[in-house]
Structure 1
Amino acid sequence: MRSLRVPAATLLTLFALSACSGGQTAPASGGASASASATGTNRDAEVEATFAEGQGAAITYLPELVPAGATAKVTSSSGDGTSTVTLELTGLVPNRHYGAHAHTKACGAAPADSGPHFQHEKDPVTPSVDPAYANPQNEIWLDFETDAEGKATATSTVNWDFTDGAHPQSVVVHSNHTATEPGKAGTAGDRAACVTVDF
């Protein structure tokens, strides 16, 4: 199976079908459902997916941290100068800290396929570990701690919009909370899992 990348036009069609059928979202391939809407300059998206090893809309690279069968829901709303992204997860390791960020590319079979963190103002130096760029105001950080049942929710709101030419394409779950000190800012350990989202 290939990674799920749902074009914006398809997402808009799914949203229109959803509105006409009483709010039910048409399922997308790969064990995920997706919807989106656009009003003026607004960009809204939603993806629900189940993690599996290999390829798909949600891939686990470290099943000991994100087991196959765990679920993710990503919702985002962007427009009028702000963007809000919410990540909801189930089936993870209980009572554990994780990091999570929006990344520049869609998920792939290899953990690095999703590219670096998406940044509103791009750091000219790679990798970006300067707190002036690698920070929760310039990136989408969604660090979380699971509860006793392995569930968690995290939300990030930033004061800038996603655009057609500049928006993330995935959310990556990392093995640790995100560091903030110079030289390590933005790092969060191994990439444990990835969810493809057409923000």
Structure 2
Amino acid sequence: MMAVRAGVMAMVMPVTLLGGGAMASARPQPEPLSRGPEPVLALGRFAGYGPGQTAVTYDPKLVPSGAAAAVAYVPIADGHASVQLRAQGLLPNRRYGAHVHTNACGSKGEDAGPHFQHVQDPKTPSTDPKFANPRNEIWLDFTTDGQGNGFSRAALERRFTDRRPHSVIVHADHTHTDPGHAGQAGARLACINVDF
């Protein structure tokens, strides 16, 4: 595992530059409020769970070992931020759901905990559209192209504070929005550790 400062280039760095299981990330350092934290970049190739593994696959049929992912968090000067997800080597022409989660990846998809919410729902799992929505959570659903590459971006109206998420989970389906199912996206197929 290697930690480096990630600049704006993190947003355009191609996933093809990944080495097997390599990761680059930066933990924001305290800075004046007007400047905000530094960007963060996590890079990894999917494999089975193990210590130090950045990208973990729980279903190699749908997220093959060796497929790659990059997640970038970029704070913007006006207090907003964005999270971007880029994937390569997944199944072609397939819809995947993806969300930012509270805990780091573990040996099971459930280890990543619930979705990160800016305003937390007192009920878990959260299926109330008042809490489980793309403004309160960070949804990164994407559809792969014919080569199995996918991209998504979520604009955040606020930055993370002392409560930070620690992973992105790739799900089997695009995210539902109807009451009682809001925020659900099927099985947890894979996980990417991100040092937000």
TM over 0.5: yes
Aligned residue number for residue 119 of structure 1: 117
TM-score by length of 2: 0.84
Q: Which amino acid aligns with 1:62?
A: D
Shift of 1:186: 0.2
Aligned to 1:33: 23
**Residue among 86, 89, 92 paired with 1:91:** 89
- Which residue is 1:192 aligned to? 189
Q: Residues of 2 paired with 1:195 and 1:104: CA distance?
A: 12
Whole-Å separation in 2 of the counterparts to 1:170 and 1:32 = 16
Which 4+ stretches in 1 moved above 4 angstroms? none
Match of 1:102 in 2: 100
Write the distance in 2 (CA, Å) between the matches of 1:43 and 1:128.
30
Select the structure that is richer in strand: 1
String of CA shifts for 1:31-64, please: whole Å, max 9, x gaps.
Answer: 2221325553224200110000122111000111
Q: Is residue 5–residue 40 contact of structure 2 (8 Å, CA) maintained in 1?
A: no
The 2-side partners of 1:85 and 1:158 are apart by: 8
Residue 135 of structure 1: aligned partner: 133
Residue pair 1:78, 1:162 contacting (<8 A) in 2 also: no
Unaligned runs of at least 5 residues, structure 1: 17-28
Q: State the secondary structure of the residue aligned to 2:5.
A: helix
| Structure 1 residue 91, shift from structure 2 partner | 0.5
Q: Is the 8 A contact 2:96 2:142 kept in 1?
A: yes
Instruction: Say which of 156, 163, 168 aligns to 1:166.
Output: 163
Over the matched positions of the two proteins, sequence identity in percent amounts to 49
Residue 93 of structure 1 aligns to a residue in which SS?
coil
Task: Note the residue ranges of structure 2 that are not aligned, 5 or more in a row.
Answer: 7-18
Which of residues 142, 152, 155 is equivalent to 2:153? 155
Aligned residue number for residue 23 of structure 1: none
Say whether 1:183 aligns with 2:180: yes
Distance in 1, matches of 2:25 and 2:165, equals 16
- Counterparts of 1:159 and 1:43, CA distance in 2: 17
Q: Among residues 7, 11, 15, which one is paired with 2:5 in the alignment?
A: 15
Indicate the residue corresponding to 2:15 in structure 1.
none
3-state secondary structure, aligned to 1:106: coil
CA contact (8 A) 1:30 1:57 kept: no
The answer (yes or no) to whether the contact 1:43–1:162 under 8 Å persists in 2 is: no
For residues 99 and 38 of structure 2, the distance between their equivalents in structure 1, rounded to whole angstroms, comes to 18
Aligned equivalents of 1:170, 1:160: Cα separation in 2 = 18
Q: Which amino acid aligns with 1:179?
A: H
2:44 aligned partner: 49
